[in-house]
């Protein structure tokens, strides 16, 4: 029998980043924990709060629905 996923904890995803990250440069790397939030909406909100174009914010992985 299959169990339907229904809680946010059922959808936990850990991205594996295999690029070298340095202490300086023109990019910043941030780890964001979100629950019950849409990735695209979060990107728009971050862009608004930091006065950045949305295209300047990227993210790893977008889970299929």
d(CA 10, CA 17): 22
From 10, 18, 23, 64, active-site residue: 64
Q: Coil, strand or helix: which one is 1?
A: coil
H-assigned helices in the chain: 39-49
Q: Which is more confident, 5 or 42?
A: 42
Instruction: Kindly indicate the confidence band of residue 35, based on its pLDDT and cuts at 50, 70 and 90.
Output: confident
**Average model confidence (pLDDT) for the chain?**
83
Please count the helices (runs of H) and the strands (runs of E) in the chain.
Answer: 1, 0
Give the whole-number percent of the chain exceeding pLDDT 90: 28
d(CA 26, CA 4): 43
Q: Is 23 a catalytic residue?
A: no
Please state the rounded mean pLDDT for residues 8-19: 76
Output DSSP code: residue 46: H
The pTM of the full predicted model, rounded to 2 decimals, is: 0.64
């Amino acid at each position: 029998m299959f169990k339907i996923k229904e809680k946010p904890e059922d959808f936990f995803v850990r991205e594996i980043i295999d690029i070298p990250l340095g202490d300086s440069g023109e990019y910043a790397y941030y780890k964001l924990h979100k629950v019950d939030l849409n990735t695209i909406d979060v990107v728009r909100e971050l862009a608004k709060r930091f006065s950045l174009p949305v295209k300047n914010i990227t993210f790893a992985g977008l889970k299929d629905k």
